[in-house]
A and B are shown apart, each in its own frame.
Chain A
Amino acid sequence: MASDPVLPFSSRSAVVCRDVAKVWAPGTPRAHEALRAINIDVAPGEFVVLLGPSGCGKSTLLYLIAGLEDTTSGELWSFGDRIEQPSPQRSLIFQEASLFPWLTVGQNVAFGLSIAGMPTQQRNEVARQALQRVGLTEAIDKRPDELSGGMRQRVAVARALAMQPKVLLMDEPFAALDVQTRAKMQDFLLEVWRASGASVLFVTHHIDEAVALADRVVVFTSRPGRIKTIVPIDLPRPRDPFSPQAEALRRHLTAQLQDEVDRAFAEQEVLAAS
């Protein structure tokens, strides 16, 4: 953007999506439109939840923001820079912890640092600190398969934190965990988020999770994914899931989502019949 010093929007935004669209396998018979006309601005330090029926393209948006896939049209920006490829500033966390099974927990956390060429001693120290932030210092020499699902996911968070990302992209990170562990992990994530100051984009199809975590909930339509509505969650933290306001928000989000789920189902039935 050397020829155009005036940016079209605030360069302070953590993530900016401008008319983002994604078509998979364009120009082939299998082409299908995943996302259409997505416009979101995420402020630094903001917690945004992307909520929608499964297959609505919300994970696709996360991959686009991570820089792992190219947009079909539209623009993505992060802190004033065009998103064109993956960057350690934007860490992605998956449903499965995706730890490298041949590395110890400490080596997993230090992986990105060693890619960046940081000396061993220094990166071990950073890894130890990152593990301390997720409460797993004593697991540093264990192997991933010695840990429970929740612990593994915390290691994945530590691995992301070690890179000091400005944006944490989380793709249904707690979906594979049991209900109790999930609740604990949500509290844990809020602590980590507050301490790190990073923005979080969190994909889920759980309304409870959205209300428990988000500053703003972006509700997606069924395929192709468009933004149906954006619901601010103005509840003070720590949040009481049983408060009347939380109840009202859940009711509102459920109503918003219900139409889309119904439409997605009807579409699938048509597809199955043809």
Chain B
Amino acid sequence: MVAVTRAAPAHPSRTGGPMLPWSRWIASITAVAPTVLWGAASIGLFAGLWEVLWALGWADAKLLPPPHIFIGNIADQAKFFNTVNRWQIGAGQGGGTSPPLAVLYTILATTGRVFSGLVIASLLAVSIGVAIRYFRVFGRLTLPTITLLAPVSPIAWLPVAIFLFGIGNGPAIFMVVIALLFHMVLATINQIDNVNRNLINVARTMGASKRQTYVRVIIPAILPQLFVVLRFNLFAAWMVVLVAEATGVGYGLGQVIMLARNTFNPSLVFFTIALIGVLGFLFDLAMRLAQRKLLYWVPQGSAVLRGL
């Protein structure tokens, strides 16, 4: 045995003894409290400013209805979400699902499209990106085309989506996939090229084959950054899905916005925008929580900037 003094662990909190359940609850509440309060303050500031502008008469309630108006008549707005029956001849606004359920269905439809698109795009992008580096000939053959397609706006793909998939979930999901795929393939390749050489060299000196090096070193090493890329692309996914829905691929939040535009209903526009904002925020939150669980080894937070 060698006598070497033991340094203190870098994260004493992780090595601490078991905490009582209630004290853990209190600890986690006090941990998130500042974030929640600052979030409320931020939204309150902008909503308040808007209300003040309305009260002063600078913001016309017919064009820019302030939050208390467009959120105030949720019940009234909700009936417009009942797009399910709109295209059926003879079905009135009152028929079909109840307004609250209609809102829920609309949200679920859009969210489902975003989520499926994200999952399909990530799996495809990582597979293609890894294949491009793993099989050299495949990379030479595909990479130029992918680089060529990456700057094309997803909107340009909209007609293709409709040609290929017609109307419904298909084209909306296709749009999300196409909006993310090329960027994420390029990001995957970039991440692979930037994997710490020493990690790869360690695996090689330990006798790892090319396949083992990819599966056991390169892929785990690129996941954290890819997850960040995915989170940034989440917002792009939300934008694209609305465009896809707005052009008449079925029902969904984009469709409601379109309806609001066509019927000159600013309240409905802002209500839907607020809804999309909240959904996007929740999606991001869910992804951050997933990141913490899946990528447990990645340090959290922005402690680097503290004290500046």
Contacts and interface: CB of A to CB of B under 8 A. Distances in A.
Interface of A: 63, 66-68, 86-88, 90-92, 94, 96, 98, 100-102, 111-112, 115-116, 132, 134-135, 142-143, 145-148, 150-151, 154, 159, 163, 184-185, 187-188, 191-192
Q: Which of B2, B14, B208 has the most CB of A within 10 A?
A: B2
Given A98-B196, A188-B2, A143 B297 contact: yes
B205 A90 contact: yes
Nearest to A190: B2
B57 interface: no
Contact of A115 (B5, B199, B207): B207
Contact of B206 (A115, A145, A150, A187): A115
Given A102-B220, A115-B212, A135 B204 contact: no
Given A142-B9, A147-B9, A187-B2, A100 B204 contact: no
B4 A150 contact: yes
A87 B205 contact: yes
A100 B217 contact: yes
Contact of A66 (B205, B295, B297, B298): B205
Interface SS of B by simple majority = loop
Given A145-B297, A146-B15, 5 more contacts: A68-B201, A86-B204, A96-B198, A102-B296, A147-B10
Interface in B1-31: 1-11, 14-15
Contacts of B74: none
A188 B204 contact: no
Q: Which of B10, B205, B296 has the most CB of A within 10 A?
A: B205
Contacts of B206: 86, 88, 91, 111-112, 115-116, 163
A68 B204 contact: yes
B149 to A, nearest CB: 32
Interface string B282-305: 000000000000011111000000
In this complex, the interface size class of chain B, counting residues with CB under 8 Å from chain A, is 20 to 34
Nearest to B1: A135
Given A98-B198, A100-B217, A135-B1, A146 B11 contact: yes
Given A145-B299, A184-B4, A68 B198 contact: no
Contacts of A100: 199, 202, 217, 220
Contacts of A91: 205-206
B52 to A, nearest CB: 48
A148 B5 CA distance: 11
A185 B6 CA distance: 12
B84 interface: no
Contacts of B6: 151
Contacts of A145: 10-11, 297, 299
A184 B9 contact: no
Contacts of A98: 196, 198-199, 201-202
B203 interface: yes
Q: Which of A94, A101, A111, A154 has the most CB of B within 10 A?
A: A101
Contact of A112 (B199, B207, B296): B207
Interface string B252-282: 0000000000000000000000000000000
A146 B217 contact: no
11 contacts: A63-B201, A66-B201, A87-B205, A100-B202, A100-B220, A102-B297, A116-B206, A134-B2, A135-B4, A146-B15, A163-B206
A145 B299 CA distance: 9
Contacts of A67: 205
Contact of A146 (B4, B14, B208, B298): B14
Contact of A150 (B7, B205, B220): B7
A132 B15 CA distance: 20
B192 to A, nearest CB: 16
A101 B297 contact: yes
A187 B5 CA distance: 12
B202 A92 contact: yes
Given A146-B9, A148-B10, A94 B198 contact: yes
A63 B1 CA distance: 30
Contact of B205 (A68, A143, A184, A188): A68
A151 B196 CA distance: 20
A191 B196 contact: no
Interface string B52-67: 0000000000000000
Given A102-B297, A145-B297, A192 B201 contact: no
Contacts of A96: 198
Nearest to A88: B207
A102 B295 CA distance: 8
B205 A115 contact: no
Contacts of A112: 206-207
B205 A86 contact: yes
